[in-house]
């Protein structure tokens, strides 16, 4: 079971054994030692909601692994966040519909043992309806929206279960909750 509580942060209690929570607002800047800091993985952080998540977690002292397809923009975002929050930011260039990119992203994720959170955010909509669109575009969209999050969750889950701690956020759309014709793969 994973909780989504963006407005709180964990702090080790004095006896070092249990955790208590404090409002994040009390600690707007990173206060953790740079060694052994926890990591948050965010897909699609070049802009929009993904970038906001990146800034949110960085402002609370988490190191980041962020992905995007456009090198100049994602590296610019990483520089901005390092400057602003003093955390480590690892950039992985990946189109999540491309098997090779996904494989190398999963390999990199596997190398991290300190993952606190995964935000599956990368995604997009299409103007064409399912009927009008090429089938391969639709299957690519399903790969990005369903398969990629599934594979990333499968990689991070064991260590979160072992630690009995972790956050997984799947960014979706309100449209996912309504029966709607047109673009079933986009939500």
* Residues near ligand NAP (CB under 6 A): 44-50, 68-70, 94-97, 121-125, 144, 171, 173
Q: What is the DSSP letter of 143?
A: I
> Shortest gap between Cβ of 66 and ligand NAP (angstroms)?
9
118 within 8 A of 44, measured Cβ to Cβ: no
Smallest separation, CB 96 to ligand NAP (Å) = 4
Residue 113 beta carbon to ligand NAP: minimum distance, rounded to whole angstroms: 24
Distance CA 133, CA 46 (A): 26
**Those residues with Cβ within 8 angstroms of residue 20's Cβ, 6 or more apart along the chain or in another chain:** 10, 11, 13
Taking the complex as a whole, the smallest distance from the CB of residue 33 to ligand NAP amounts, in Å, to 30
| Distance (Å, whole) CA 109 – CA 136 | 27
Of 118 and 144, which has the nearer Cβ to ligand NAP? 144
Is 1 or 4 the residue whose CB approaches ligand NAP more closely? 4
Token code pair at residue 138? 């639709």
Residue 10 CB, shortest distance to ligand NAP, in Å, is 26
Q: Which residues pair with 167 in a beta bridge?
A: 117
Ordered DSSP codes for 7-61: TEEEEE-TTSSSEEEEEGGG--S--S-STT--EEEESS-SSHHHHHHHHHHHHTT
Indicate the residue among 39 and 143 with the shorter CB distance to ligand NAP: 143
* Nearer Cβ to ligand NAP (141/160): 141
In order of 7, 11, 24, the CA distances from 114 in angstroms are 21, 16, 20
Which of 39/96 has CB closer to ligand NAP?
A: 96
Instruction: State which residue, 9 or 45, has the beta carbon closest to ligand NAP.
Output: 45
Q: How far is the CB of 8 from ligand NAP (least distance, A)?
A: 23
Parallel, antiparallel, or unpaired for β 19-23 and 39-42?
unpaired
């Amino acid at each position: 079971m994973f909780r989504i509580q963006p407005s709180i942060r964990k702090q080790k209690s004095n006896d070092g054994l249990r955790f208590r929570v404090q409002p994040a607002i009390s600690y707007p800047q990173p206060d953790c030692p740079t060694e052994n800091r926890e990591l948050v993985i965010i897909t699609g952080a070049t802009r929009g909601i993904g970038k906001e998540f990146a800034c949110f977690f960085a402002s609370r002292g988490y190191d980041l692994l962020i992905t995007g397809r456009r090198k100049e923009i994602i590296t610019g975002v990483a520089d901005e966040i390092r400057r602003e929050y003093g955390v480590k930011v690892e950039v992985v260039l990946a189109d999540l519909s491309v098997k090779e990119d996904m494989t190398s992203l999963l390999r990199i994720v596997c190398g991290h043992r300190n993952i606190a959170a995964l935000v599956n955010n990368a995604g997009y909509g299409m103007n064409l309806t399912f009927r009008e669109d090429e089938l391969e575009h639709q299957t690519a969209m399903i790969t990005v929206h369903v398969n990629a999050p599934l594979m990333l969750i499968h990689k991070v889950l064991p260590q979160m279960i072992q630690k009995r701690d972790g956050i997984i956020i799947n960014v979706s759309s309100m449209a996912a909750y309504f029966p709607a014709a047109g673009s079933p793969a986009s939500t």
